[in-house]
Structure 1
Amino acid sequence: MPDRPTVSIRFSAAEIANRVDEMAKELAGKLAPDTLVVSVLKGSFVFAADLIRALSRTGADWSMDFLTLSSYGTATETTGSVKVVRDIVDDVRGRDVLLVDDILESGYTLSFAKDLLLERGAKRVSICTLLDKPAKRRTKLQADFVGFQAGDEFLVGYGLDWAHRFRGLPYIGVVEKTN
């Protein structure tokens, strides 16, 4: 097995926890009481779990479903082609939907997901991402709710992975280049 790269902390576990609580209060104040949370897997599972618990602490009792999309495979750059790997079960017709993802980079995946839910009859689809990398955007999509702005560094932890590794880190870190 190759040497494990060094990961330096970019956003600490405490910073993330505080920001998730702030976001939950904002979401609960702005979205409908029967909003459906749709978590885009795999990357958003940690963020979505913390967010739904934080929403519950605000009094929001929203239902949740999961959508697995793929545009990366094992690569670190998107292919631009998005496919549904696992679909949601809940009916979105006439509902407000909060689409939750770990990171907004190119915009291909979330644009695809938003369009899919609107085509299925969602009344409104809002986008919530923990991280936003606007410099990587290849679409006009913007998130409605953002945890942190990030630069062009390669981030892992708190659900974000590098070839299916580092998802379990309690913080978000930058993979340092190894020689």
Structure 2
Amino acid sequence: MSDTPISNDIKEIIISEKNIEQRCRELAAQIEADYENDGITPLVVGLLKGSVPFMSELIKYFHHAIEIDFISVSSYEGTESSGDVKIDKDLDLSSRNKNVLIVEDIVDTGRTLKAVKQLFYNKGANEVRIVSLLDKPDRRKVDIEADYVGFKVPDAFVVGYGLDYNQKYRNLPYIGILKEEIYE
């Protein structure tokens, strides 16, 4: 184990744990109101691994029934999205005739999310909505937007609250910008 805390690798905290918790309450209320108006129970699907802290916080504030499941896809090589999406772990539940809410940590290039959204439609989902903790619109390569967004972030290497660099920093309770010397 390293002697220095991972927080030493953070250049700047841009979103605090308190702000994330508050935004999750607001997002949950908005999402629930939308699904309640439709009279449906959503299948809430977390994209592993990055969505886990966000999804855990978000679903605490739902007051109506939901189903949850996880899917794991990969499309990154180092720090860049390849756009070639591979399913590493599929759902345990069926998404056929369901209204799916994809939970994502960040919408970056949009390539992975667009492919996953289409995958659910191919599997027979009635509707697919997306909630993302973060949105980085300056990096978008394909036309896709989340239906619900926690925070917009600048085009910087952000980590924490599920977001990683080489599988590290996911456990930070906030969103921070990683020091350049860590990944260059």
TM-score (normalizing by structure 2):
0.90
Q: Distance in 2 between matches of 1:159 and 1:61?
A: 25
- Number of the residue aligned with 2:119: 116
Q: Deviations over 1:99-150 (max 9, x none)?
A: 1100001111111111000011100000110000111111101110000001
List structure 1 segments (4+ residues) > 3 angstroms apart after TM superposition: none
Identity of aligned residues (%): 39
CA contact (8 A) 1:33 1:62 kept: no
Matched, 1:130 2:137: no
- How far has the Cα of 1:177 moved from its partner? 2.3
* Aligned counterpart for 2:179 among listed residues 172, 176, 179: 176
Matched, 1:49 2:45: no
Amino acid of the structure 2 residue aligned with 1:152: D
Q: Distance in 2 between matches of 1:49 and 1:20?
A: 10
- How far has the Cα of 1:94 moved from its partner? 1.2
- Number of the residue aligned with 2:72: 68
TM-score (normalizing by structure 1):
0.93
Q: Distance in 2 between matches of 1:16 and 1:45?
A: 14
CA contact (8 A) 2:40 2:99 kept: no
- How far has the Cα of 1:33 moved from its partner? 3.4
Secondary structure of 1:131 counterpart? strand
Amino acid of the structure 2 residue aligned with 1:43: G
Secondary structure of 2:166 counterpart? coil
Structure 1 unpaired stretches of 5+: none
- Number of the residue aligned with 1:22: 26
- Number of the residue aligned with 1:160: 163
Secondary structure of 1:82 counterpart? strand
* Aligned counterpart for 1:150 among listed residues 149, 153, 174: 153
Secondary structure of 2:177 counterpart? strand
Query: CA RMSD for the aligned pairs?
Result: 1.5
How many residues are paired up?
174
- How far has the Cα of 1:76 moved from its partner? 1.1
Q: Distance in 1 between matches of 2:21 and 2:136?
A: 20
Structure with the higher strand share, 1 or 2 = 2
* Aligned counterpart for 2:80 among listed residues 77, 81, 90: 77
Amino acid of the structure 1 residue aligned with 2:31: L
Amino acid of the structure 2 residue aligned with 1:51: L
